[in-house]
Amino acid sequence: MRGVNGGERPTNGDDLESLLSARRSANREVIDVDEESADFLIFSLGGERFAFKGRDIREILPPTKVFPVPGCPRSLEGVVNVRGDIESVIEFDAMLGIGQRERDPSRAILIGEAGGVRSGIRVDKVIDVVSVPLSSIQAPHSAVPERLGPVATGIIPYLDGAATVLDLAKIFHDYAAGLG
Protein backbone atom coordinates (compact mmCIF):
# COMPACT_ATOMS: atom_id res chain seq x y z
CA MET A 1 0.00 0.00 0.00
CA ARG A 2 1.24 3.47 -0.85
CA GLY A 3 1.06 6.37 1.52
CA VAL A 4 -0.02 9.88 0.74
CA ASN A 5 3.53 10.87 -0.08
CA GLY A 6 4.09 7.81 -2.06
CA GLY A 7 6.21 6.00 0.54
CA GLU A 8 5.55 2.57 2.04
CA ARG A 9 3.22 2.80 5.05
CA PRO A 10 2.91 0.11 7.67
CA THR A 11 -0.37 -1.65 7.74
CA ASN A 12 -3.01 -0.41 10.16
CA GLY A 13 -2.27 -3.38 12.37
CA ASP A 14 1.40 -2.41 12.57
CA ASP A 15 0.49 1.21 13.47
CA LEU A 16 -1.75 0.13 16.29
CA GLU A 17 0.74 -2.36 17.65
CA SER A 18 3.57 0.17 17.73
CA LEU A 19 1.37 2.86 19.30
CA LEU A 20 0.15 0.52 22.01
CA SER A 21 3.68 -0.63 22.67
CA ALA A 22 4.86 2.94 23.02
CA ARG A 23 2.01 3.76 25.40
CA ARG A 24 2.73 0.66 27.43
CA SER A 25 6.34 1.71 27.90
CA ALA A 26 5.38 5.25 28.77
CA ASN A 27 2.96 4.05 31.41
CA ARG A 28 5.63 1.89 32.96
CA GLU A 29 7.89 4.91 33.30
CA VAL A 30 5.27 7.08 34.98
CA ILE A 31 3.59 4.66 37.35
CA ASP A 32 5.33 1.84 39.07
CA VAL A 33 3.10 0.88 41.93
CA ASP A 34 5.65 -1.52 43.32
CA GLU A 35 8.31 1.14 43.86
CA GLU A 36 8.73 2.30 47.44
CA SER A 37 7.86 5.94 47.95
CA ALA A 38 7.52 8.51 50.72
CA ASP A 39 5.17 11.44 51.26
CA PHE A 40 6.49 14.98 51.51
CA LEU A 41 4.87 18.31 52.31
CA ILE A 42 6.31 20.99 50.08
CA PHE A 43 6.33 24.60 51.21
CA SER A 44 7.90 27.89 50.22
CA LEU A 45 10.08 30.13 52.32
CA GLY A 46 11.96 33.17 51.13
CA GLY A 47 11.29 32.27 47.50
CA GLU A 48 12.77 28.78 47.86
CA ARG A 49 11.05 25.40 47.97
CA PHE A 50 11.53 23.09 50.92
CA ALA A 51 9.96 19.84 52.07
CA PHE A 52 9.34 17.96 55.28
CA LYS A 53 8.61 14.27 55.48
CA GLY A 54 4.86 13.90 55.55
CA ARG A 55 4.98 11.72 58.65
CA ASP A 56 6.57 14.62 60.60
CA ILE A 57 3.69 17.03 59.92
CA ARG A 58 0.58 16.64 62.05
CA GLU A 59 -1.57 19.40 60.57
CA ILE A 60 -1.71 22.74 58.82
CA LEU A 61 -3.38 25.34 61.00
CA PRO A 62 -5.99 27.76 59.74
CA PRO A 63 -5.17 31.44 60.44
CA THR A 64 -4.50 31.42 64.17
CA LYS A 65 -3.60 34.11 66.67
CA VAL A 66 -0.09 33.72 68.04
CA PHE A 67 0.50 34.97 71.59
CA PRO A 68 4.00 36.31 72.25
CA VAL A 69 6.03 34.93 75.15
CA PRO A 70 8.46 37.20 77.02
CA GLY A 71 12.13 36.30 77.17
CA CYS A 72 12.18 34.34 73.92
CA PRO A 73 14.42 34.97 70.89
CA ARG A 74 12.88 36.68 67.87
CA SER A 75 12.72 33.38 66.02
CA LEU A 76 10.30 32.04 68.65
CA GLU A 77 7.16 33.89 67.70
CA GLY A 78 5.05 32.71 70.61
CA VAL A 79 2.43 30.10 71.38
CA VAL A 80 -0.90 29.11 69.86
CA ASN A 81 -3.97 27.49 71.34
CA VAL A 82 -4.68 24.39 69.26
CA ARG A 83 -8.01 23.02 70.44
CA GLY A 84 -7.05 23.47 74.08
CA ASP A 85 -3.39 22.51 73.77
CA ILE A 86 -0.53 25.00 73.82
CA GLU A 87 2.03 24.73 71.02
CA SER A 88 5.08 26.89 70.35
CA VAL A 89 5.55 28.61 66.97
CA ILE A 90 9.00 29.12 65.54
CA GLU A 91 9.71 31.43 62.61
CA PHE A 92 11.63 29.23 60.30
CA ASP A 93 13.09 31.99 58.17
CA ALA A 94 14.44 33.88 61.17
CA MET A 95 15.84 30.66 62.56
CA LEU A 96 17.61 29.63 59.38
CA GLY A 97 18.61 33.14 58.35
CA ILE A 98 16.44 33.08 55.24
CA GLY A 99 15.62 36.77 55.13
CA GLN A 100 14.43 38.91 58.02
CA ARG A 101 10.99 40.32 57.43
CA GLU A 102 8.17 41.87 59.34
CA ARG A 103 5.94 39.31 60.95
CA ASP A 104 3.04 38.37 58.73
CA PRO A 105 0.18 36.63 60.53
CA SER A 106 -1.32 35.47 57.25
CA ARG A 107 1.53 33.05 56.61
CA ALA A 108 0.94 29.35 57.18
CA ILE A 109 1.67 27.48 60.40
CA LEU A 110 2.50 23.77 60.27
CA ILE A 111 2.34 21.64 63.38
CA GLY A 112 5.31 19.30 63.26
CA GLU A 113 6.42 16.50 65.55
CA ALA A 114 9.81 14.87 65.30
CA GLY A 115 12.51 13.64 67.66
CA GLY A 116 10.07 13.78 70.56
CA VAL A 117 9.42 17.52 70.09
CA ARG A 118 6.21 19.08 68.84
CA SER A 119 5.94 22.68 67.63
CA GLY A 120 4.36 25.02 65.16
CA ILE A 121 6.52 26.17 62.26
CA ARG A 122 5.77 29.41 60.42
CA VAL A 123 6.38 29.16 56.67
CA ASP A 124 5.40 31.36 53.73
CA LYS A 125 3.01 29.00 51.97
CA VAL A 126 2.11 25.34 51.79
CA ILE A 127 2.44 24.30 48.15
CA ASP A 128 1.62 20.62 47.88
CA VAL A 129 1.73 17.16 49.38
CA VAL A 130 3.41 14.67 47.06
CA SER A 131 4.42 11.03 47.02
CA VAL A 132 7.96 10.65 45.74
CA PRO A 133 9.70 7.37 44.75
CA LEU A 134 12.67 6.85 47.04
CA SER A 135 14.87 6.27 43.99
CA SER A 136 14.31 9.84 42.83
CA ILE A 137 15.55 11.42 46.06
CA GLN A 138 19.00 12.84 45.54
CA ALA A 139 21.64 13.67 48.09
CA PRO A 140 21.89 17.36 48.90
CA HIS A 141 24.26 18.95 46.41
CA SER A 142 26.44 22.00 46.33
CA ALA A 143 23.53 24.23 45.34
CA VAL A 144 22.06 23.91 48.85
CA PRO A 145 23.05 27.03 50.83
CA GLU A 146 25.74 26.40 53.43
CA ARG A 147 23.49 27.48 56.31
CA LEU A 148 21.08 24.66 55.41
CA GLY A 149 23.78 22.02 55.10
CA PRO A 150 23.37 20.55 58.58
CA VAL A 151 19.60 20.14 58.26
CA ALA A 152 19.22 19.34 54.53
CA THR A 153 18.89 15.62 53.92
CA GLY A 154 18.04 15.44 50.23
CA ILE A 155 16.59 16.94 47.08
CA ILE A 156 13.29 15.79 45.59
CA PRO A 157 11.99 16.66 42.14
CA TYR A 158 8.89 18.85 42.01
CA LEU A 159 7.26 20.09 38.79
CA ASP A 160 9.96 21.78 36.77
CA GLY A 161 12.31 22.17 39.70
CA ALA A 162 13.18 20.68 43.05
CA ALA A 163 12.65 21.04 46.79
CA THR A 164 15.19 20.69 49.54
CA VAL A 165 14.18 18.10 52.14
CA LEU A 166 14.80 19.26 55.71
CA ASP A 167 15.31 17.08 58.79
CA LEU A 168 12.70 18.34 61.25
CA ALA A 169 14.04 16.33 64.20
CA LYS A 170 17.47 17.89 63.76
CA ILE A 171 15.97 21.33 63.33
CA PHE A 172 14.07 21.02 66.61
CA HIS A 173 17.14 19.57 68.36
CA ASP A 174 19.45 22.32 67.11
CA TYR A 175 16.90 25.01 67.92
CA ALA A 176 16.52 23.77 71.49
CA ALA A 177 20.31 23.86 71.77
CA GLY A 178 20.45 27.52 70.73
CA LEU A 179 20.50 27.69 66.91
CA GLY A 180 18.74 30.82 65.66
Partner 1 sequence: MRGEADRNPADELPLVVFEAWGFRCGVEARIVDSQSIIEPEEEMLTAEAFFSLCDEGAADSIRSGLLAVGARDASSAPTPRCVRRSITLALADGLVRLAVSGPVELATFQARDLHPLPALVEARCAASALRGFALEGESPILLFIPRAAALRAY
Binding stretches for partner 1 (CB under 8 A) = 65, 67-73, 76, 79, 81, 84-88, 90, 116-119, 172, 175-178
Which of 81, 136 has the CB closer to partner 1? 81
Q: How far is the CB of 146 from partner 1 (least distance, A)?
A: 24
Contact 41, 129 (CB under 8 A): yes
Q: Smallest distance, Å, CB 85 to partner 1?
A: 7
Residue 119 CB, nearest distance to partner 1 (Å)? 5
Cβ closest to partner 1, residue 13 vs residue 178: 178
The distance of closest approach from Cβ of residue 151 to partner 1 in the complex, given in angstroms and rounded to an integer, is 15
Q: How many CA atoms lie within 13 A of 39 on its CB side?
A: 8
Q: Which is nearer to partner 1, 42 or 114 (CB)?
A: 114
Widest CA span in the chain? 86
Rounded Cα–Cα distance for residues 112 and 141 (Å): 25
Q: Please enumerate in sequence order all residues whose Cβ is within 8 A of that of 9, keeping only pairs 6 or more positions apart, or say none.
A: 1, 2, 3
